[in-house]
Chains A and B, each alone.
Chain A
Amino acid sequence: MILAASSGDTAVVFIEIGLILFGLGLLSRLSDRIGLSPIPAYLIVGLAFGTGGFIGPNLSMEFLNVASEIGVVLLLFTLGLEYTPQELSRGLRSNAVSGMVDLALNATPGVLLALVLGWSLPTAVLLGGITYISSSGVVAKVLRDLQRLGNRETPAILSVLVIEDLVMALYLPVVAVMIAGSDLQTGALAVTIALAIAGLLLIVALRYGHQISRVLNTRSDESLMLGVVGLTLIIAGIAQELDVSAAVGAFLVGISLSGPVQQRASSLIEPLRDLFAGIFFVLFAFRIDPTTMPPVLLPALTLAVIGIVTKMLTGWLAGRRQGFAARARIRAGTALIARGEFSIVIAGLSVGTAIDPRLLPLTATYVLILAVSGPVLTRFADNLSNTFLRGR
């Protein structure tokens, strides 16, 4: 009897997960057709079917929760994988100024708006991160699709993204401690410890990346994939246990891999990441009651407009430092506008904590606006230049 019941449950779980994945497949195909990131589509589906929407999955929730956490880990892992330690340290040396301008311009609006709305300080710090970080996935895809990788402003754009990623490595542990809701004194201590651990891991990743890569390097794709994913999850788990946030652990494992392992791992793990990250985006939106979105529409819209302006300014200033003409600076600015996966990762940290619940619908709305308008503005950057620079 028990067997019969559980096999019935398995059938339901299969069908629920299958329907979700199949739906994501259709959506990403549609998004690809019109040249957009699939993230907005994933969010819309999650919103439609989640809390307050039509239906929600019941039996497979436990699996989906774990899968979505793995999605975050793999997202950060592949982010770290994109850059070699040398690229990170070179980026940090030569573009620190542009990176700091980016941080100041784009994190401030989020922090301020949260404080104006009377939200708590941890919520403000989260919102600052959400408005700060561009979506490197969307940006890279757009530049590739528009054949702009060869453009002279592209290295400037990528360097800003590199610095953002390094800032994430320090930001995530701080946030992890802040939203744990401890009082100021123990909080400060915990932040210091978390940062020390993250810094230590970063140094290990930068220094000993070669050795780690060599140990993991095998001829078989299968054992490489299993070894890398296994190591990533172990480090992510340990980092989580130490309150440094699993995401940072995974990110640092990604950074530490280099050479042939880096390249093979990225082609082997990207499909896995797409699978789990897709579940993460849908599940994020599942938690949001669509009726909570209209009340936050105005702040989200305000932040989005400011976010467009501040990223354009970031690109403009970064381009000016490198002596690019106005058209190239505008292209750089528009390319940076898109926010996406990492804003959602940051907002996702607040689930199940004392953070203001309005943060989730606000982030979803914000990302929906910017993940769509960013690529569109990037495509028409030269038309913008023609309109605005005619007088010059």
Chain B
Amino acid sequence: MADVQETHLPGIGVRFDFPTSTGTRVGVLVHKTGRRELLVYQQEDPDECAISVDLARDEARTLAEMLGASRIIEQLDNLRQEVDGLSIDWITIDENAEWANRTLSEAAIHTQTGVSIVAMITANGPIVAPGAGDVLRPGTTIVAVGLAEGIRKLTTRLRLS
């Protein structure tokens, strides 16, 4: 991946830019308002913008898709995300884990860890919003949402350390 330079523009936003292998510098200015500006610098004066194109949010998304979604797939690989302290994690249940083969109500996950199980991906396909009777079978991957601390606690119960 190209070496992207990040510059803060006080009061305006953040600018990302990098030089292409052909020697042209390109970049994106992300305004605080969410507007994007596509920047292409001059070859003879790399400090000055030759082209700047204003893009609204959806236009920027369209352009990104046109340029190829490979980067987005890369990001999907590590989908463990944290949004304002909220964590989402994918946990695959181990064979002899403490809570393996219990139902959700027996494990009382929410009471004990504060984490909600929003989906289970089993050998027979996904279960969205599983009920109290669904079993935590080994090999099943659960999608858990909660605070980072709770997710950590849950992971120790579903995986062998």
Contacts and interface: CB of A to CB of B under 8 A. Distances in A.
Interface in A66-120: 82-83, 87-88, 90-91
Interface string A121-139: 0000000000000000000
Contacts of B10: 82-83, 87-88, 90-91, 155, 158-159, 161-162
B9 A147 contact: no
Interface string A22-62: 00000000000000000000000000000000000000000
Contact of B39 (A140, A150, A382): A150
Contacts of A263: 32-33
B26 to A, nearest CB: 10
Nearest to A332: B47
Interface residues of A, number: 27
B27 A155 contact: no
A149 B9 contact: yes
A150 B11 contact: no
A324 B48 CA distance: 10
Contact of B12 (A88, A147, A152, A158): A158
Contacts of B27: 150
B71 interface: no
A150 B33 contact: no
B49 A147 contact: yes
Interface string B45-59: 111110010000000
Interface string A321-341: 000110110010000000000
A207 interface: no
A88 B11 CA distance: 10
B51 to A, nearest CB: 9
A158 B11 contact: yes
A264 B108 CA distance: 43
Given A147-B52, A263-B32, A263-B33, A152 B11 contact: no
A83 B11 contact: yes
Interface in B16-47: 27, 29, 32-33, 37, 39, 41, 45-47
Contact of B15 (A91, A140, A150): A150
B7 interface: yes
B153 interface: no
Given A155-B7, A263-B32, A263-B33, A149 B45 contact: no
Contacts of A147: 49, 52
B8 A155 contact: yes
A153 B29 CA distance: 14
Interface in A216-275: 263
Contact of B45 (A159, A161, A325): A325
A324 B9 contact: no
Contact of B8 (A87, A148, A153, A325): A87
A124 B85 CA distance: 53
Given A158-B10, A158-B12, A327 B37 contact: no
A150 B45 contact: no
A154 interface: yes
A122 to B, nearest CB: 31
B9 A154 contact: yes
Nearest to A385: B45
A327 B29 CA distance: 21
Given A87-B10, A147-B52, A152-B46, 16 more contacts: A83-B10, A83-B11, A90-B8, A90-B10, A148-B48, A149-B37, A150-B49, A151-B47, A151-B48, A152-B41, A155-B10, A263-B33, A324-B47, A327-B45, A327-B48, A382-B48
